[in-house]
Amino acid sequence: MEKEFVKIITENQGIIHKVCSVYCDSEEDRRDLFQEILTQLWKSYPSFRQESKFTTWMYRVALNTAITSFKKTKRQPDQNGLTIDGMQLVHEEYDPTTDEQMRMLHQAISHLSGIEKSIILLYLENKSYEEIADITGITQNYVRVKMNRIKHKLKKQMNIED
C-alpha cells in the first residue's frame, strides 16, 4: 500500500504544490503545508473508496487541509510583517507584461476567502464546474454563483472595467 501511495503522490504532486502556492506566502509556509497535506492524504488513503478520480479526492483533501490551515493562520497575528509586495509569485518564463498581470492576479487572489481561493484555483486549472463541485463538496449551481462573484471581486481588485 505504501509503494502505491508514494507512486500516485509522486505522479500528482503538482496538485499539492499549486494548492500550497495559493494558500501560503512564504516558501517555509508552503513546505509546512505540503507536509501537512501529505500527512492528511496518508491518514485518509485507506478510506479512499475510488468512487471518484484519485485527483478529485486528492484536491478535496489538499484544499480542506489548506482551508483549515488558512483559518488557523488568519486567527494569529502576522509575526514577521511580510507584505504581499515582497512575494515572488510569477514564473520566469513570462514576459514583463505577463509578469505584472500575474503579480496583480496573485495579489488579488490573496484577498479572497478560503473557499473562493479553492474555486478560483480549480477554475484556473481548467476544471469544469462539475469537477469543482465534486472537489469542493458544493453544488454546481453554487459554484457558478460563487465564480461570478469571484470574477467580480478580482476585476474590482485589479481595477478592470466590465
Between the alpha carbon of residue 142 and those of residues 133, 139, 145, the distances in Å are: 8, 5, 5
Query: Is it the case that residue 143 has pLDDT exceeding 90?
Result: yes
pLDDT band at 108 (very low <50, low <70, confident <90, very high): confident
Indicate the number of domains in the chain. Answer: 2
Q: Can you give the residue range of the structural domain that contains 126? A: 83-162
Least confident piece of the model among 50-54, 115-119, 152-156: 50-54
Of 53, 82, 111, the residue that ends a domain is: 82
| pTM, full prediction | 0.62
Query: Is it the case that residue 75 has pLDDT exceeding 60?
Result: no
Of 82, 114, 137, the residue that ends a domain is: 82
**What percent of the chain lies above the pLDDT cut of 90?**
28
Query: Is it the case that residue 74 has pLDDT exceeding 90?
Result: no
* Pair (43, 30) in one structural domain: yes
> Any idea what the CATH number is for the domain that residue 59 is in?
1.10.1740.10
Query: Is it the case that residue 80 has pLDDT exceeding 80?
Result: no
Of 82, 109, 139, the residue that ends a domain is: 82
* Pair (63, 130) in one structural domain: no
Burial of residue 134 (CB within 10 Å: 0-12, 13-18, 19+) is: buried
Place of cell 500527512: 39
Could you report how far apart the first and last alpha carbons of the chain are, in Å?
51
pLDDT band at 109 (very low <50, low <70, confident <90, very high): confident
By C-alpha distance, which of 52, 48, 73 is closest to 132?
Answer: 52
By C-alpha distance, which of 44, 54, 67 is closest to 15?
Answer: 54
Between the alpha carbon of residue 44 and those of residues 51, 58, 61, 93, the distances in Å are: 14, 10, 8, 37
pLDDT band at 79 (very low <50, low <70, confident <90, very high): very low
* Pair (23, 6) in one structural domain: yes
Query: Is it the case that residue 33 has pLDDT exceeding 80?
Result: yes
* Pair (78, 139) in one structural domain: no
